[in-house]
Amino acid sequence: GENVEQHPSTLSVQEGDSAVIKCTYSDSASNYFPWYKQELGKRPQLIIDIRSNVGEKKDQRIAVTLNKTAKHFSLHITETQPEDSAVYFCAARVTGGGNKLTFGTGTQLKVEL
Amino acid sequence: NAGVMQNPRHLVRRRGQEARLRCSPMKGHSHVYWYRQLPEEGLKFMVYLQKENIIDESGMPKERFSAEFPKEGPSILRIQQVVRGDSAAYFCASSPSQGQYNEQFFGPGTRLTVL
């Protein structure tokens, strides 16, 4: 089955700096890659997603890139703010594999003042 | 439009008891997914259901765990004879259809503690 690895596990940046979180996946049949943000004790919330027929997608300060050949995708947050502090999870969905998402292990992002 | 609802939010059980977790999907959503999150870990898929059907239960332990999504009422994840290792946050998600790009909306989770 699909396996998703995520790095780093923790990331600390200064307010205003950029943050990059990277994920790799194993199943070349994966075609949908969402990113979720989870604040402490709260539900995961979708912040951006990308389909396999797209190489990059941007939404304000958040962008995601996908390299199908290398089977990796990354989340980029620019001009980080304290409210960006949370755990971020990448995920992958395999075509024809039902609708289940396979999640990475998460990145604890801390934005320091 | 209310989001995905889960109850209870917190559940404490002693070893050997049963735990019942409920999930009401968003209005208009007919697909429900259950995920388990162990402390400081990612979410692990357990089971995917549509009304009255289990579509994929590949992530659910074969023993003690069962799930249903009846024609009427919420989806229920049932854990029999709980053990300490079952302590985790259990999240339910729903989506409107089987479209491969459909977003899954998560509920607030049920935090199960087994004493």
User: A77-93 pLDDT, tens per residue?
Assistant: 999 999 999 999 999 99
B44-79 confidence digits (pLDDT tens): 999 999 988 999 999 999 999 999 999 999 999 999
- Contacting A residues, span 47-106, partner chain B, CB-CB under 8 Å: 49, 51, 89, 93, 95, 98-106
Alpha carbons B89 and B92: distance in angstroms, whole number: 10
Chain B CB contacts of A49 under 8 Å are 101, 103
Identify the residue with better confidence: A52 or A17. A17
Alpha carbons A56 and A69: distance in angstroms, whole number: 14
Question: Beta strand B10-13 with B65-68: parallel, antiparallel or unpaired?
Answer: unpaired
- For residue A96, the distance in angstroms to the closest alpha carbon of chain B comes to 8
Chain A touched by B10 (CB under 8 Å)? no
CA distances, A68 to each of A4, A75, A89 (Å):
14, 15, 19
Confidence of residue B102 (pLDDT cuts 50, 70, 90): confident
Give me B41's structure tokens. 């870990």
Q: How far apart are the first and last CA of chain B?
A: 36
Asked if residues A5 and A24 have their Cβ atoms less than 8 Å apart, the reply is yes
Region class of B100: left (phi > 0), else alpha (psi between -120 and 50), else beta: alpha
